[in-house]
Structure 1
Amino acid sequence: MVGSSSTKQGLSSWIGAATATRTTVEFDKNGAVSGGDSPHIPTTIQMSILGFGERAISAAGAAVLSAILVNPLDVAKTRLQAQAAGVPYDSLCNLGHLNSNTVLTGVKYNSSGTRAVLGAEPTCSPECFQYKGTLDVFYKVIRQEGFTRLWRGTNASLTLAIPSVAIYLPLYDIFRNSMEEYTLRNIPIATPYVPLVAGSLARSIACITCYPVELARTRMQAFKDTKNGVKPPGVWKTLVGVVSPVNTMQTYRLLWTGLGAQLARDVPFSAICWSTLEPVRRKLLGMAGDEASVTTVFGANFSAGFVAGILAASATCPLDVARTRRQIENDPERALRMTTRQTLVEIWRDGGFKGFFAGVGPRVARAGPSVGIVVSFYEVVKYCLSHRHMHRQSEGADL
């Protein structure tokens, strides 16, 4: 028979997965929970009773919430990076014969600032064609394209985030728990590096699997709408537009244009993120002790994720700039030839050291809350599911 003290002990053991001291938790034949400090078999509650499907659902829910909330910052980051790469954000602003929301690509302002290429007299300065920062992107996108354009690519973000995060976080859990079990038994000195390796492996698999949708999302966010009042292309039409110029089997390689740059960005990002997040989370949860609640789990994970996201985003910004530049390349042949190293050299040539950090403001502002939201939501749902499973086990033992 399991009383409240056993349930409390079980919840403490669930938190033990994220604290410095690992606690073994097992159910005996009668459903009772036994626990104790063990350096050998670090089996946790969520590893024992939560399946991959439950974790995937938890992760997908977290991804949806994050994608919707931070998409405007993602749009701002992509626009700033694309502008640095030479994508023209030309607008005729308030020309007398055109609607102020009309956007014509390829119409550039003369350096003299006196006349547009089409010969019409402009009523705004050349500065209205340039984004100066995150808030300036927000202002000009809302004014020139409409408020809803800040959520441009959200459907692609959701299409990407749901499978990507649903693969990424459960795989990270599985890899981390398996590797920690092995290292604690055989190579204790390597245990602190497990989050780095597990995060890198899980992110690589998720990235390769879902990359074409990532490509579509970036292109949807980077380019302005060319026809006023016409619904812009969605994910499928964007991908068709990528592959249609080349009619060979090599065409489908274009769907993975920039994958090298994406991996070069995401693998270090995950390594830095998890290497920072795990010790911070363990410290915060350790301070809560056995009295941890849903609020504590949420707060510890959000805080750790926020800090880890900011650090990882700052460190990998140059690789993110390179990834964006490769993904928005319109020349199919050049896109196939480009390498990440060549792209980085090109960025240095065009913008110097500053060019490597184009869009760093919105990238960092996005990454902190995004990682915090995803990790905290995911862990809270796992916590609740674990509590529910344990409650059922307790009821079964009472019968």
Structure 2
Amino acid sequence: MDTESQDLARITPLQQMVASCSGALLTSLFVTPLDVVKIRLQAQQKDFMKNKCFVYCNGLMDHVCYCYNGHAKDLWYRRPAYFEGTLDAFVKITKTEGITSLWSGLPPTLVMALPATVLYFTVYDQLRNSLKKKFKNDDESLQFWIPVVAGGTARTFAATLISPLEMIRTKMQSRRFSYSEIGQAVKKMVKNEGFFSLWKGLNATLLRDVPFSCLYWANYENFKRIFEQPNPTFGFSFFAGACSGTVAAVVTLPFDVVKTHRQIELGEIEVMKDNKPPPKKITDVMMNIYKQRGASGLFTGIVPRVVKVAPACAIMISTYEAGKAFFRGYNEAAAFPVVAAAHSDRL
């Protein structure tokens, strides 16, 4: 196909959004049950049940929640049941509460996750394509940095845009608020602490997510280049996405540990209105973890993180690439119906 044909067959930003939306939906549907089980198991531990904030992630975004001893029965992660392990938890939850309970909290997750993921993938693709066109005749080493820059920029943009909504959701998860009460709480916070108080905790989020995105896209695009897959198949993108996600998850795990600590501290301050001093600097948190637990403390939870991140990345990117391939074929058929029909006959 010549250059003009390729341009006509390119997918539009709207089509990219639809493809990424389908990927986000499938990823969330797959990973949410794993988090429901994990939180149920954690809820059995005494330390977990002493009015503390905790963080869980469904593969697309993090959630800050708060444990209330007085209202345990009202919260999905504190329902009475004792589990002997992961498999036992799956069986008991399904048997006693129904299989839909494995997707508790999915609707509010999708309300936040879908727009964030759509923004992230669409901005990445658009920026990467623009940079490739601009530097297409430059040194090969420069091509390596294009997905790094595009991935980091796209993640920064998406996380910054969604951050105020994250803060509002944290307050909503603390206890039952009406929408008018949420509005009043947000207005009061902005009045007392300034407009940029809506972006509290963003630096901790970017500390983990930007390096992760840079590493992930650099590895993924490198896989495509090595195996000569400019338009990868579903199987290849699934494999490359899982490998790239695993590498990025392991390397950025210390940032994830720090982010969790910061999010919990912010959650306790914002949700419970504690009179605690402000959270420590990120470097202080990291040094404190290192002093208390050593280097291993910065890599706490490496197994569950990899087990969750690898399939989540694989499902997301393979579904996204499959969606783009569908729209690419659709656009090509619409632009060149005769050629597409002849090709179809040959198949």
What is the rounded CA distance, in whole Å, between the counterparts of 2:246 and 2:42 in structure 1?
Answer: 18
Query: RMSD in angstroms over aligned alpha carbons?
Result: 4.4
Q: Are 2:117 and 1:165 equivalent residues in the alignment? A: yes
How many pairs are equivalent?
A: 310
Q: Given residue 52 of structure 1, which amino acid in structure 2 is its aligned partner?
A: P
Describe the superposition over 1:363-384 as per-residue Cα deviations: whole angstroms up to 9, x where unpaired.
2111111111111111111111
Partner of 2:345: none
Distance 1:53 1:260, change over 3 A: same
1:68 partner amino acid: L
Distance in 2, Cα, partners of 1:64 & 1:49: 24
Question: Where does residue 148 of structure 2 map in the other structure?
Answer: 196
> Does 2:298 correspond to 1:356?
yes
8 A Cα contact 1:175 1:198, kept in partner: yes
Moved over 6 A (4+): 76-84, 128-132, 216-221, 234-242, 396-399
Q: Is this contact kept in 1: 2:333–2:340, CA < 8 A?
A: no
Equivalent residues of 2:262, 2:279 under 8 A apart: no
Structure 1 length-normalised TM: 0.63
Counterpart mapping for 1:30-45 below 5 A: 33=5
Letter in 2 for 1:135: T
Are residues 1:328 and 2:264 paired? Answer: yes
Q: Does the Cα contact within 8 Å between 1:314 and 1:360 map onto a contact in 2?
A: yes
Instruction: State the 1:302 CA deviation.
Output: 0.8
Pairwise CA distance, 1:327: 1.8
- Partner of residue 315, structure 1: 251
Identity %: 28
2 CA distance for matches of 1:180 and 1:316? 27
Name the CA shift for 1:300/1:51 in 2 (closer, same or farther; >3 Å). Answer: same
Q: Which runs of 5+ in 1 are unaligned?
A: 1-9, 11-24, 28-32, 34-43, 92-102, 108-127, 224-231
Aligned residue number for residue 178 of structure 1: 130
Name the SS of the counterpart of 2:300 in structure 1: coil
Other-structure match for 1:26: 3
Aligned pair partner of 1:385 in 327, 336, 339: 327
SS at match of 2:69: coil
Is contact 2:168–2:186 with CA below 8 Å preserved after alignment?
A: no
Which is richer in helix? 2
Structure 2 stretches of 5 or more lacking a match? Answer: 52-66, 72-79, 342-347
Equivalent AA in structure 1 for residue 217 of structure 2:
W
Following TM superposition, by how much is the alpha carbon of 1:45 offset from its aligned partner in structure 2, in angstroms?
Answer: 5.0
Quick one: distance in 2 between partners of 1:187 and 1:272? 20
CA deviation digits over 1:134-170, x for unaligned, max 9?
8399579959x96766534423321222111111111
- Preserved contact between residue 56 and residue 166 of structure 1 (Cα < 8 Å): yes
8 A contact 2:23–2:316 mirrored in 1: yes
Task: Measure how far apart 1:235 and its partner are.
Answer: 11
Cα deviations across residues 215-253 of structure 1 (Å, max 9, x unaligned)?
Answer: 5677889x8xxxxxxxx7589799779869958441764
**Equivalent runs, 1:211-360 vs 2, <5 Å:** 211-214=163-166, 233=176, 248-250=191-193, 253-286=196-229, 297-329=233-265, 330-332=268-270, 334=276, 336-360=278-302
